[in-house]
């Protein structure tokens, strides 16, 4: 029978009251009412605990019996507890249930683990039980529970579980976690030694409850804490100390360089040691596998070490080798033994190897090594292996090492750029054979070498160059394609149009063309579907998308190699010029006319050899017919209207012109511009100073050696200051507003330095040392976003050291700057930093809150940007600047900026939510900043607090909506020029909602059975259970007919049937799924 175990429970035996006090205290939850039962009660004990004081342990039970522990809380709220089990693996379980629904379970030998659960509103019955199957006992045959905490989700943050200090080894995964209760949403920020951490390839989860260091290095040693905040307050965790040790520490040989491998590497551990501190242990391996540990010394000299093994005797061995020859081995249960050897002269590889045969395990199935000591007798230092140059991402770690011989002791001093490196902070091993730098920043880039000395002399190593890559892969953006991506174009709303030779995008069918949301997820509403490769894309100022390639149908309609889509992805039915062969490049002029290049010889039914121009409506521009004699791959516009053309041709506009030429705006040849290339030109970009950067397959340009990339002066002569080339093809180019040049292609070196398929040049043509993200295959498209991030498309599978299938995005730590202003007579658009460079721009004006736009004029270049003079009378409305961004003369798009009166570009949208979920309304407002926001519900002004956050921002968040939150929402945006009210968005809330359904049950006659539902909704909630459609009432064999859990204490034959529940409240009702009882 159940026993009530609470100090506050009335009419309970004195002996049980004593049990209650100890059990409640053991669980650290005296405010909860605890009950226990089954074949044996849970008990309080102090032998096995997590908090070091006491814990609850399941009762002693036999086969097919259970021991359970139960309490009830009123949700919603956060539950956390620690548990542990020692049992027969996968047969005897410690399990946790809420309202009769199994949440989790553990079995086998599982040490203390923390569990957390967000509990739904309403009564929540929490049940832990230890259950045994019909045979066999293993371990201690029990479960333990400790530190049970339940906190309702209201008020400021409360840290329920602090991050724990730990000691980890180099190369291991380190995790710090915190459990927090409080009003949602909660924000997290992790710190190390008081310094705010940022997301990188080496650190993840800096803004989440769990911080992860996936590849721990010694420089990670320090104190970690987290600050948690919500709209009601802030909480700071305790500091958790991380100590990081390496194999060299465990082996007591920091002067040696250690490597490990096999099927599992050796690890540092502290449980089994000879010196009482630490030792190295072989990795966990299976039958037929091995785990090895290795270093190199230079003899002659004495070697000693201690080793130990626990294995299957005469079958699984710990072995020691010198230069591949086995010297000794041990097996079975062998305690610590000292081994001593005199090594001969020369380079000697020392290897310890634990290996298993094909069957049977015995003992701990491992080997250990400790206190390795090698001391060569005589001679000055000799460097046998030099440190190697490396490239590392910002925030990553790097190791320089040197192998040296000579009389010991050897002294080491690492040098950076001529100055000694000091130990401490993010630097380890400044005076050892291995220098380790952690959390690398740009300041660590430089030239490294090491000076060795002993009583006989000194030796200085070669210089190793460390390059720090600041352009890391954007970890939040990871779409994928199953084939090559040739073209990318970003829309003003941030969505990304993708074209290429693929049939799958982000795991969904997309034939050669698709669109991504800003975060890299697939836009499900954009599916025009082509029947052949898409080679180029170009956005128009009105948002329409020009598409060129090899296809002959698009969106289910015949379209020969060229087509236009509306902004929503539907086909523009009025645009159908048709080309006889592929369209390889597209560019849009300021007047809206469209330049096309490719392999075609007819366009719109008229002869046009490889190059043509369309009017904005898609009809052929009859006045433009220069013609080439072979394919055109790139067209780039100059601000004066002239057109740079690159490709395979040797004649342009009827005159000799090798692969590169320039046309006047009317299509006649500019005869002053004829540099000539000896092979194909694939891309071209016009700089603000009129110079032209070109890339391709050429090795000479303008009569001089230029390897695959070069720059011309405005008159077509070679820029002799720009001489750094690549070792293979360049396919694409991109320009930043600061003058830097992005280069993509098939190369693996640029400017004589390793750069895999992707690089950036400074304005003077020198290599940018901070940009080295690396891809593992060709890059065909580079798009600079307005925020400076770089979209990359190609045939690669990795980008910036991260798995990225054909498409990815790079961070750009250099800021992107731009500002649009109006002084009453002229418009100025300043642009700088890593912003994309523009080919041309226009200025427009809206007098009617963004409903219509009037062209004011075409911008002219000014210092640092663009301007339009003599533009009075624009004070009462909104001004828009639209800039054209060319992607290497192949594809293109637009960026926009706004000033003046505020206007709403994107309205909030209606939505339907389940009870207990998060609802967000957002708006995009433009105009001169600062812009103010005020959200309303049903005409009532909202303010932050409770479930509401962001009431005065562009995004309103309701963290836990219920029926009473349904209504109409809108926002008023304002700036110094005026205010505008958004459209109304409706929130509909399904309340209540069943979050856990009853499940089918098969039981024996006379057994008991439970059906449960978990519900989120507004209290009070009413429950009614039904059998075969008939409402049930409590009786001798029916309990809980009007509760979340229906219990049939003794099942009889007539109880067989179909059961379901109806849950209702003031806002509505919900009917559960039907569960069968057999």
CB 942 within 8 A of CB 899: no
More confident residue, 908 or 139: 908
Count of the separate structural domains present in the chain: 8
CB 877 within 8 A of CB 900: yes
Residue 1072: both structure tokens together? 């559960």
Q: Is the pLDDT of residue 673 over 50?
A: yes
With CA atoms as reference, report the closest residue to 270 among 262, 261, 279, 259: 279
With CA atoms as reference, report the closest residue to 260 among 307, 214, 294, 218: 294
| pLDDT the model gives residue 745 | 98
pLDDT per residue over 677-710, tens digit each?
999 999 999 999 999 999 999 999 999 999 999 9
pLDDT per residue over 705-761, tens digit each?
999 999 999 999 999 999 999 999 999 999 999 999 999 999 999 998 889 999 999
**Which CATH number belongs to the domain containing residue 874 in this structure?**
2.60.40
The secondary structure element, H or E, covering residue 738 is: none
Q: How many CA atoms lie within 13 A of 777 on its CB side?
A: 16
Q: Is residue 477 part of a domain?
A: no
- State the average pLDDT over residues 816-838: 96
Query: Alpha-carbon distance 285 to 291, whole Å?
Result: 7
| pLDDT the model gives residue 63 | 87
Query: Alpha-carbon distance 1017 to 915, whole Å?
Result: 6
Query: Alpha-carbon distance 610 to 680, whole Å?
Result: 14
| pLDDT the model gives residue 52 | 86
Omega before residue 185 within 30° of 0, cis: yes
Domain that holds residue 430: 382-468
- State the average pLDDT over residues 891-911: 95
Query: Alpha-carbon distance 1046 to 1038, whole Å?
Result: 7
Query: Alpha-carbon distance 949 to 962, whole Å?
Result: 16
With tokens 């190199």, the residue in question is: 296
Query: Alpha-carbon distance 429 to 398, whole Å?
Result: 12
765: left (phi > 0), else alpha (psi -120 to 50), else beta? left
**Do 282 and 234 fall into the same domain?**
no
Maximum alpha-carbon separation in the chain: 110
**Do 413 and 529 fall into the same domain?**
no
Omega before residue 420 within 30° of 0, cis: no
Residue 922: both structure tokens together? 């957002």
**Which CATH number belongs to the domain containing residue 52 in this structure?**
2.60.120.200
Q: Mark which of 790, 810, 830 sits at the end of a domain.
A: 810
The secondary structure element, H or E, covering residue 22 is: helix 14-26
**Do 223 and 270 fall into the same domain?**
no
**Do 665 and 675 fall into the same domain?**
yes
Q: Is the pLDDT of residue 975 over 70?
A: yes
- State the average pLDDT over residues 646-653: 97
DSSP 851-903: S--EEEEE-EEETTEEEE-S--S-TTSEEEEEEEEEETTTEEEEEEEEEES-E
- State the average pLDDT over residues 1042-1047: 92
| pLDDT the model gives residue 4 | 29
Q: Residue 210, class by beta-carbon neighbours within 10 Å (0-12 exposed, 13-18 middle, 19+ buried)?
A: middle
Q: Residue 932, class by beta-carbon neighbours within 10 Å (0-12 exposed, 13-18 middle, 19+ buried)?
A: middle
CB 864 within 8 A of CB 821: no
DSSP 407-457: SSSPEEEEEETTEEPPPBTTEE-TTSSEEEE-S--GGG-EEEEEEEEETTE
Q: Is residue 473 part of a domain?
A: no
pLDDT per residue over 754-813, tens digit each?
899 999 999 999 999 899 999 999 999 999 999 999 999 999 999 998 999 999 999 987
For the CA atoms of 950, 956, 960, 964, the dihedral, rounded to the nearest 10 degrees, stands at 120
Q: Is residue 831 part of a domain?
A: yes
**Which CATH number belongs to the domain containing residue 403 in this structure?**
2.60.40.10
Sign of CA pseudo-dihedral 321, 322, 325, 326: negative
Strands 390-393 and 464-469: parallel
**Do 225 and 292 fall into the same domain?**
no
Which pLDDT band holds residue 11 (cuts at 50, 70, 90)? Answer: very low
Query: Alpha-carbon distance 336 to 351, whole Å?
Result: 18
Q: Is the pLDDT of residue 533 over 80?
A: yes
CB 216 within 8 A of CB 224: no
Q: How many residues does the chain have?
A: 1078
Sign of CA pseudo-dihedral 424, 427, 428, 432: negative
Q: How many CA atoms lie within 13 A of 321 on its CB side?
A: 15
Give the distance from CA 769 to its chain's centroid. Answer: 24
- State the average pLDDT over residues 963-986: 96
- Lowest average pLDDT, out of 161-170, 260-269, 327-336, 472-481, goes to 161-170
Q: Is residue 427 part of a domain?
A: yes
**Which CATH number belongs to the domain containing residue 693 in this structure?**
2.130.10.10
Strands 258-262 and 267-269: unpaired
Strand partners for 115: 81
Which pLDDT band holds residue 664 (cuts at 50, 70, 90)? Answer: very high
Q: Is residue 236 part of a domain?
A: yes
**Do 831 and 783 fall into the same domain?**
no
**Which CATH number belongs to the domain containing residue 336 in this structure?**
2.60.120.260
Q: Mark which of 810, 829, 862 sits at the end of a domain.
A: 810
**Do 186 and 212 fall into the same domain?**
yes
Give the distance from CA 308 to its chain's centroid. Answer: 43
- State the average pLDDT over residues 925-954: 95
| pLDDT the model gives residue 84 | 96
With CA atoms as reference, report the closest residue to 392 among 215, 191, 206: 215
Q: What separation in angstroms does the CA of 144 have from each of 64, 88, 598, 1022?
A: 19, 15, 73, 35
With CA atoms as reference, report the closest residue to 121 among 98, 92, 90, 97: 98
801: left (phi > 0), else alpha (psi -120 to 50), else beta? left
Number of neighbours of residue 11 by Cβ within 10 angstroms: 5
Residue 11: both structure tokens together? 């009419």
The secondary structure element, H or E, covering residue 241 is: strand 240-245
**Do 976 and 1014 fall into the same domain?**
no
Query: Alpha-carbon distance 485 to 806, whole Å?
Result: 6
Query: Alpha-carbon distance 736 to 753, whole Å?
Result: 22
Q: Is the pLDDT of residue 332 over 70?
A: yes
Instruction: Give percent of the chain above pLDDT 70.
Output: 98
Q: SS3 for 235?
A: strand
Query: Alpha-carbon distance 553 to 549, whole Å?
Result: 11
- State the average pLDDT over residues 411-421: 96
pLDDT per residue over 14-72, tens digit each?
223 333 347 889 998 888 888 898 889 999 999 999 888 899 999 999 988 899 999 98
Q: Is the pLDDT of residue 7 over 60?
A: no
| pLDDT the model gives residue 421 | 97
Q: Is residue 107 part of a domain?
A: yes
Query: Alpha-carbon distance 211 to 177, whole Å?
Result: 6
Query: Alpha-carbon distance 239 to 193, whole Å?
Result: 9
**Do 447 and 493 fall into the same domain?**
no
Omega before residue 300 within 30° of 0, cis: yes
Query: Alpha-carbon distance 8 to 23, whole Å?
Result: 14
Give the distance from CA 80 to its chain's centroid. Answer: 28
CB 373 within 8 A of CB 303: yes
Strand partners for 924: 906
Provide the mean pLDDT of the chain.
92
**Do 826 and 927 fall into the same domain?**
no
Q: Is residue 480 part of a domain?
A: no
- What letter does residue 482 receive in the DSSP assignment? S
- State the average pLDDT over residues 570-591: 97
Q: Could you tell me what percentage of the chain is helix, strand and coil, using 3-state DSSP and rounding each to the nearest 5?
A: 5, 50, 45
Query: Alpha-carbon distance 617 to 625, whole Å?
Result: 18
Which pLDDT band holds residue 13 (cuts at 50, 70, 90)? Answer: very low
The 10 Å CB-count burial string (b at 16+, else e) for 803-839 is ebbbbbbbbbebebbbebebeeeebbbbbbebbbbbb
With tokens 């976690």, the residue in question is: 177
pLDDT per residue over 394-408, tens digit each?
888 899 998 887 887
| pLDDT the model gives residue 102 | 87
Q: Mark which of 751, 781, 810 sits at the end of a domain.
A: 810
Opening angle at CA 824, ends 823 and 828, nearest 5 = 40
Query: Alpha-carbon distance 223 to 225, whole Å?
Result: 7
| pLDDT the model gives residue 8 | 27
**Do 929 and 853 fall into the same domain?**
no
pLDDT per residue over 113-154, tens digit each?
888 888 887 788 999 999 988 788 888 999 999 999 887 777
Q: Is residue 348 part of a domain?
A: yes
**Do 498 and 607 fall into the same domain?**
yes
Query: Alpha-carbon distance 839 to 688, whole Å?
Result: 8
With CA atoms as reference, report the closest residue to 749 among 719, 772, 727, 732: 727
Query: Alpha-carbon distance 140 to 60, whole Å?
Result: 10
| pLDDT the model gives residue 20 | 35
pLDDT per residue over 444-470, tens digit each?
999 999 999 999 999 999 999 898 998
């Amino acid at each position: 029978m159940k026993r009530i175990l609470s100090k506050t429970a009335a009419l309970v035996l004195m002996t049980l009251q004593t049990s209650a006090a100890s059990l409640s205290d053991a669980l650290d939850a005296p405010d909860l009412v605890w009950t226990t039962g089954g074949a044996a009660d849970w008990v309080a004990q102090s032998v096995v605990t997590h908090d070091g004081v006491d814990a609850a342990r399941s009762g002693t039970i036999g086969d097919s019996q259970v021991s359970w522990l139960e309490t009830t809380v009123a949700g919603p709220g956060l539950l956390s507890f620690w548990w542990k089990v020692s049992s027969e693996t996968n047969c005897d379980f410690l399990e946790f249930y809420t309202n009769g629904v199994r949440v989790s379970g553990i079995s086998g030998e599982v040490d203390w683990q923390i569990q957390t659960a967000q509990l739904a509103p309403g009564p929540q019955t929490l049940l832990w039980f230890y259950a045994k199957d019909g045979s066999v006992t293993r371990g201690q045959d029990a479960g333990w529970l400790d530190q049970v905490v339940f906190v309702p989700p209201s008020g400021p943050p409360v840290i329920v579980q602090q991050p724990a200090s730990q000691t980890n080894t180099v190369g291991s995964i380190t995790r710090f976690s915190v459990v927090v209760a409080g009003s949602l949403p909660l924000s997290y920020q992790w710190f190390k030694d008081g310094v705010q951490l940022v997301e990188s390839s080496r650190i993840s989860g800096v803004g989440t409850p769990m911080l992860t260091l996936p590849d721990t290095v010694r420089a990670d040693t320090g104190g970690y804490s987290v600050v948690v905040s919500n709209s009601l307050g802030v909480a700071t965790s305790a500091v958790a100390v991380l100590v990081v040790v390496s194999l060299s520490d465990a082996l007591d040989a920091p002067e040696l360089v250690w490597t490990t491998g096999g099927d599992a590497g050796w690890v540092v551990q502290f449980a089994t040691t000879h010196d009482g501190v630490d030792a190295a242990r072989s990795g966990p391996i299976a039958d037929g596998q091995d785990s090895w540990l290795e270093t190199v010394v230079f003899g002659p000299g004495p070697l000693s070490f201690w080793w130990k093994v626990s294995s299957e005797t005469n079958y699984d061995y710990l072995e020691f080798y010198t230069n591949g020859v086995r010297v000794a081995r041990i097996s079975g249960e062998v305690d610590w033994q000292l081994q001593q050897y005199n090594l001969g002269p020369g380079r000697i590889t020392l290897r310890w190897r634990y290996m298993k045969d094909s069957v049977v395990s015995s003992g701990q199935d491992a080997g250990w090594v400790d206190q390795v000591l090698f001391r060569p007798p005589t001679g000055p230092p000799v460097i046998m292996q030099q440190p190697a140059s490396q490239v590392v991402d910002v925030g990553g770690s790097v190791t320089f090492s040197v192998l040296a011989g000579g009389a010991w002791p050897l002294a080491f001093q690492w040098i950076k750029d001529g100055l000694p490196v000091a130990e401490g902070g993010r630097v380890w091993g400044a005076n050892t054979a291995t220098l380790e730098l952690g959390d690398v920043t740009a300041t660590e880039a430089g030239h490294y070498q090491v000076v060795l000395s002993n009583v006989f002399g000194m030796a200085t190593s070669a210089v190793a160059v460390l390059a720090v890559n600041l352009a890391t892969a954007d970890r939040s953006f990871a779409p994928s394609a199953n084939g090559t991506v040739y073209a990318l174009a970003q829309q003003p709303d941030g969505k990304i149009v993708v074209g290429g030779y693929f049939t799958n995008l982000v795991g969904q069918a997309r034939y050669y063309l698709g669109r991504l949301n800003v975060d890299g997820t697939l836009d499900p509403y954009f599916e025009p579907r082509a029947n052949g490769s898409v080679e180029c894309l170009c956005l128009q100022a009105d948002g329409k998308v020009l598409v060129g390639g090899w296809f002959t149908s698009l969106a289910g309609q015949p379209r020969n190699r060229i087509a236009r889509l509306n902004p929503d992805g539907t086909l523009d039915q009025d645009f159908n010029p048709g080309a006889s062969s592929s369209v390889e490049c597209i560019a849009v002029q300021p007047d809206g006319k469209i330049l096309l290049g490719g392999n075609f010889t007819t366009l719109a039914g008229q002869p046009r050899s490889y190059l043509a121009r369309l009017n904005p409506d898609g009809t052929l521009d009859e006045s433009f017919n220069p013609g080439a004699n072979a394919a055109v791959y790139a067209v780039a516009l100059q601000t004066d209207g002239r057109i740079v053309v690159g490709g395979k041709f040797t004649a342009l506009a009827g005159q000799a012109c090798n692969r590169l030429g320039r046309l006047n705006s009317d299509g006649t040849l500019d005869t002053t511009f004829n540099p000539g290339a000896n092979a194909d030109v694939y891309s071209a970009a016009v700089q603000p100073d009129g110079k032209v950067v070109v890339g391709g397959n050429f090795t000479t340009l303008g009569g001089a050696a230029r390897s695959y990339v070069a720059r011309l002066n405005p008159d077509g002569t070679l820029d002799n200051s720009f001489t750094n080339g690549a070792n293979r093809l360049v396919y694409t180019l991109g320009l930043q507003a600061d003058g830097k040049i992005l280069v993509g292609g098939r190369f693996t070196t640029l400017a004589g330095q390793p750069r895999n398929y992707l690089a950036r040049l400074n304005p003077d043509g020198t290599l940018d040392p901070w940009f080295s993200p690396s891809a593992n295959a060709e890059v065909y498209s580079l798009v600079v976003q307005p925020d400076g991030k770089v979209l990359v498309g190609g045939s690669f599978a990795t980008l910036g050291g991260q798995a990225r299938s054909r498409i990815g995005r790079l961070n750009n730590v250099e800021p992107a700057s731009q500002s649009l202003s109006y002084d009453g007579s002229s418009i100025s658009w300043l642009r700088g930093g890593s912003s994309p460079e523009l080919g041309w721009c226009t200025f427009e004006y809206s007098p009617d809150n963004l409903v219509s736009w009037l062209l004011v004029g075409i911008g002219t270049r000014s210092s640092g940007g663009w301007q339009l003079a003599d533009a009075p009378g624009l004070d009462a409305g909104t001004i828009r600047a639209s800039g054209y961004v060319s992607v290497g003369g192949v594809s293109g798009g637009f960026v926009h900026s706004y000033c003046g009166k505020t206007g709403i570009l994107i309205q909030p949208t209606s939505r339907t939510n389940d009870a207990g979920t998060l609802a967000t309304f957002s708006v995009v407002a433009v105009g001169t900043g600062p812009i103010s926001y005020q959200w309303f519900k049903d005409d009532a002004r909202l303010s932050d607090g409770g479930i509401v956050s962001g009431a005065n921002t562009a995004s309103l968040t309701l963290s836990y909506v219920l029926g009473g939150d349904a209504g109409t929402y809108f926002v008023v945006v304002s700036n110094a020029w005026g205010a505008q009210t958004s459209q109304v968005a409706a929130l509909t809330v399904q309340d209540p909602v069943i979050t856990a359904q009853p499940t089918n049950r098969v039981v024996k006659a006379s057994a008991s059975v439970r059906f449960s539902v978990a519900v989120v909704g507004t209290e009070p909630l009413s429950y009614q259970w039904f059998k075969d459609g008939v409402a049930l009432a409590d009786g001798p064999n029916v309990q809980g007919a009007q509760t979340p859990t229906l219990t049939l204490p003794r099942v009889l034959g007539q109880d067989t049937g179909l059961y379901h529940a109806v849950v209702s409240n003031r806002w509505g009702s919900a009917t559960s799924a039907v569960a069968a009882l057999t």
